[in-house]
Chain A
């Protein structure tokens, strides 16, 4: 008597298990960071923490990276589907090697490159760096744009002495007076500021976007394979990510805590300070007129033109529009 009942219930449970698995199985997306986690990457962590991706039926796995080119090559080879990278690095990679990766969302619509110096060095604007010693790290994309910036501000390139050193040694060099100026990113300003405070000095940050360099920087990029094979996942991802960006700069504290929750090595205080200090990279005139996350045609063309000039490439040799896919963002709206 009992056996058929048990069999039936077993079958039923099995069927339920299958159905629930089918409905619960979220689309898995691997997100490639362009560097180590921190406040500047808070948006993606906040999106996961707030359940924005889960709302869209997406499960995001974050993979840490070591630079824009590293992220681009990992996405091109299929190790990850989506990620962060500097748009300039993507344009160069596409112009030179036709890598199958496209930008789908603009995160920083102003470039984060900046001169850092300490008060008392007599440097108050970009043109004051003439005749000074400048330290930079060997592989930063900022180096590409330095000549362009100096030209724009009428600083003689031969008058400065440029030294290259490991990124970790730049702050000590600045604070010990081994160099007058360092080239860094605004995203790092808070780390420098706290170091400077310990040495009893005050940091001055001079963003290059204030000195005439106007272009796109960190963007969300995706592999062409991902965009072609899972277009619907791409749209839902962008919709969720857009909410995550808005949340991050509306609630820096909660966003920073989300990063700390997932990567305990990141301090909440430093992350909050970073999120606040880079607000102008996300919310600015460019993003206000084009709409958050959107690429404006003219600004994109200007970004490529500056890049081509700085890289000594022919600006006409490549159409930057081919490196962008606006479809997922438009469809998400």
Chain B
């Protein structure tokens, strides 16, 4: 009996270790890359202005005062998150309209596709001229880049609701609002969250594009500023910071789904 329990504990420990290892594999792979990168730069004497060593990047990161980093981080986060929130506020009602109305679907959707296929980076300077140099053009750029995946995923999700459920709701005289709110939207949750996950990473890209065109603060601005002064390690440091922020935001969306919509996780993955 006790031998049995012990062997059971052993196997449990082994599986737990294995799953821990499996979970940390992506991080380990990234960490393993750093010494290889350092070594390659050292061996082939790669000049700093082509590819700086990780140690040089770390040095550049530390050389910038923490409050400067926070200032730039805050500016980028504000634009990315506010633009993303705006985009959610626009996309979800838009998706409901597209699902409800055949007419809008036929007329509005092509316009959305045209907006989506326009390279935002090309119209960004025009937006600045039209809207001035405040936050408005930056929020618009972020919103324009993020809204399409949200609209498409929400629409697809709501349309994937089984017909039987819709018919049942109608036969019980469930109104249009209940049909959307209680049947279609819950069905669309997994799709909406896949859209949100794509959207949040795009929001960071949108904020950076906006900062490239007009900004005085922000991580994107800082990358541009650093390259204009040929401070390539500093630019890389800002770049890494950006990707970490992007990764954290992505995780935050996943956690939101896990905490409030845990039931939708299996479907979504």
Please give the residue numbers on chain A whose beta carbons come within 8 Å of chain B beta carbons, in ascending order.
35-36, 38, 63-64, 66, 70, 73-74, 77, 79, 167-168, 171-172, 175-176, 191-192, 194-195, 198-199, 264-265, 267, 270
B47 A36 Cβ-Cβ under 8 A: no
Say how far B210's CB is from chain A's closest CB, in angstroms. 12
Residue B48 at the A interface, CB < 8 A?
Answer: yes
Distance of A73 Cα from B125 Cα, bound (Å): 10
- Of residues 26 to 50 in B, which have CB atoms within 8 Å of A's CB atoms? 47-50
Additional 18 contacts, C-beta under 8 A, given A64-B214, A74-B129, A168-B227: A35-B228, A63-B216, A66-B125, A73-B129, A74-B128, A74-B133, A77-B129, A168-B230, A172-B47, A172-B50, A175-B47, A191-B229, A194-B230, A199-B47, A264-B65, A265-B222, A267-B229, A270-B229
Across-interface contacts of B50 in A (CB, < 8 A)? 172, 176
CB <8 Å contact, A198 and B129: no
**Nearest A-chain residue to B223, judged by Cβ:** A168
Q: Are A171 and B229 CB-contacts (below 8 A) given A74-B133, A77-B129?
A: no
Q: Is there an interface contact between B125 and A70, defined as CB atoms closer than 8 Å?
A: yes
Query: Is B169 in contact with chain A by the CB < 8 A criterion?
Result: no
Assembly CA distance A74 to B127 (angstroms): 12
Closest to B47 in A: A199
What is the predominant secondary structure among interface residues of chain B facing chain A? loop
A36 B230 Cβ-Cβ under 8 A: no
List of A residues within 8 angstroms of B222 by Cβ: 265
Say yes or no: is B264 at the interface (Cβ < 8 Å to chain A).
no
- The reply to whether B49 and A171 contact each other, CB–CB distance below 8 Å, is yes
Write 25 A-B pairs (CB below 8 A) sorted by A numbering: A36-B225, A63-B133, A63-B216, A64-B215, A66-B125, A66-B213, A70-B125, A70-B128, A73-B129, A74-B129, A77-B129, A168-B227, A172-B50, A175-B49, A176-B47, A176-B50, A191-B229, A191-B230, A195-B49, A198-B47, A198-B48, A198-B49, A264-B68, A265-B68, A265-B222
When C-beta atoms are compared, the residue in chain A nearest to B50 turns out to be A172
How far, in whole Å, are A47 and B50 apart by their CA atoms in the complex? 38
In the assembled complex, the Cα of A323 lies from the Cα of B68 at a distance in Å of: 41
The chain A residue with its CB closest to the CB of B132 is A79
Chain B residue numbers with a CB within 8 Å of A167 are: 228
Closest chain A residue, CB of each to CB of B49: A172
The listed residue (A35, A79, A175, A194) touching B133 by CB distance below 8 A is A79
A265 to B72, CA, bound (A): 11
Closest approach, in angstroms, between the C-beta of B181 and any C-beta of chain A? Answer: 43
Task: Provide the bound-state CA to CA distance between A265 and B228, in Å.
Answer: 12
Contacts of B225 in A (CB 8 A): 36, 265
Chain A residues in 8 Å Cβ range of B132: 77, 79
Check if B116 is an interface residue, CB within 8 A of chain A: no
Bound Cα distance A198, B214 (Å): 31
Interface string of B129-140 (1 = CB under 8 A from A): 100110000000
How far apart are A272's CB and chain B's nearest CB, in angstroms? 14
Chain A's nearest CB lies how many Å from the CB of B42? Answer: 16
Give the chain A neighbours of B215 by CB distance below 8 A: 64
Contacts of A74 in B (CB 8 A): 128-129, 133
Residue of B nearest to A77 (CB): B129
Q: How far is the CA of A74 from the CA of B230 in the complex (A)?
A: 27
Q: Which 5 A-B pairs have the closest CB atoms?
A: A168-B227, A172-B49, A195-B230, A79-B132, A64-B216
- Chain B residues near A63 (CB, 8 Å)? 133, 216
Interchain nearest-CB distance for B262 vs A (Å) = 44
Determine the distance from Cα of A194 to Cα of B50 in the docked complex, in whole angstroms.
15
Known: A176-B50, A195-B49. A36 touches B228 (CB 8 A): yes
